[in-house]
Structure 1
């Protein structure tokens, strides 16, 4: 393309007197203010429509802070995710082993008013409401049919020859957690599974087989935990019978990460090496007909959404046991952090919105595997962030020691 030459005044005509520097500065300030205001307004009204991925920030420091300080009866528990509600941080965990005496629980929770993570985090309560009991208690409640299934197939009542599901148990694993203070509640995305059954059965193995995913509601007023039942959708079948609390089948479940923007709950899931993205109005999550799925971008770069899950597109990179997607105000960007499968390198992407576009993955920090195996379940805890998000605290599960460990990471702006 040919460059345009600057306009020159014709001979004989007086040249206009140039504007003063002060006038130019005022005009430039007004224009800049208008542009910034326009961009901010656009991002508020169109949180999915930023066209380019943000640049990758420099990491200026990482510090290992050691394990979380937990209840003395806890021998180990994994998949620790958290959110802030009021003056405290609420945590949910997956498989939990309690000692003296030994006990196994597939979902537990805790709460703490310790909101400064620079010296580590103390979280010793035995439920998400802050009780100080003798041991952690079940977080996610089982339905009557699930309890009956586990009781019916108890090992002391059967043999693998007489019962193809002998020893099988229903498990509920918490995933992403978000606060919904307007409705006095906290939401937990969870997976339902069947495990401990005979070899080669539908429920075989200690990790078992996934059945589906749902949404649990922690009511902060009544201190009750319930599971939402989906509406306007065919009821999914489970090993214990029809289960209206399963919003999605296991193959396309949405539990990996979640974030609330305006009145929408964004949930990441249906993950392989990459995750898909779904959203729904947070005030009516039970209506499955109102869920939408990210379907790529149109010619202008805006995110497209569809009601048909089969038309969805992948969105961001996936982590082992899930991801965290958090807002970083100082960078005017979103952060997707995770531990990739079979990796000890905490990894991240920068996004322009919850729907992206996302940057290429980049290494954040090496996690300590205590000299054995690989770690998993790398998550962010934004309620502990400092300096407008430039300082973040991440946790991960160290398999060799059964510890939830904490890392402090500082980004450059």
Structure 2
């Protein structure tokens, strides 16, 4: 238990810095610097410079700003409007009606975005006014949007999976492929909840949609062609082994620019806005990653990760018990930190534990993304809740309550993943071997 003193000091400095409003990335560097000064003889400044540079110069990491930029460009197009026109004729006859456009729209946009917030904003800015106009229950509209937008973290390309892959030095392409089936299953579970609730709830009484012939439905479906083509280019190039994640991201940026240009929404103003938006988000994530890599080095010198891993090994937890402990741990952590910060902050400690238990690293990436998704809709720091509050003007309590069923469905999804690990591992194991990750 000699690890308790350094752990206590690390936590005290971390919470002191975060509580004083210091950026997460700088707070992590500050904690690491203090740890290096107190517990090692190595010069802290020299170690920081070397580690920050080596972690920032990863080729795989270049996929991150490219996917963010692609999402920023698409956010400024008429994509959400076109998606609603294309999807609504097919969703109207399902139990739950047009609420399904929230879930399917988020699933489709998640396949070209990678960001939960971008998915939420793009789909929400079109679907919320349309569903309100048709008198769908507000709680269901808000709740399904909050939950389904988290699919942006799982369905490739996912920013969280890129960060996880870089942190543990695993193939990002394999992680992307691992997220496909669990993402689709989670979307189907959300749709099942909507169908069931629409049949059981007395408040569910929206205005009926006018009937449409098959030809009219097919005609409206043409609006989906551009985004489907973009998905095929980005995901298909990785699945076929033609491109790495980074190269697929470059294809995605070019494709989204072509799409924006054909819609007439690519102006110098939108181009520069999307570029600066991508730069801001990428810089924030890069700083967090740099801080976390230095913290991992500092903690490695103190022996904390190995000590904790040995402590947990001595407790002889089963694989299931360890996963349940990590589930609770990440849910609590997610109440105070965003998903990417949670992943990079904890991997130095968690990775030795899961490797010692023989847990598949690719599978664990999907497990952790599902749990991190929950953090997007849990107060007080649930990012999707803040975005929705800005879009709808509702109180935070109302939005959080509306999102509770989605949170519970994600908890069920964790157990589905544990019971059927092949959901995450089958596709990466059978993927055609292409260029590196």
Query: What's the TM-score once normalised by structure 2's chain length?
Result: 0.23
Query: What's the TM-score once normalised by structure 1's chain length?
Result: 0.24
Bigger helix fraction: 2
Q: Which has the higher contact order (CA 8 A, sep 6+)?
A: 2
Bigger strand fraction: 1
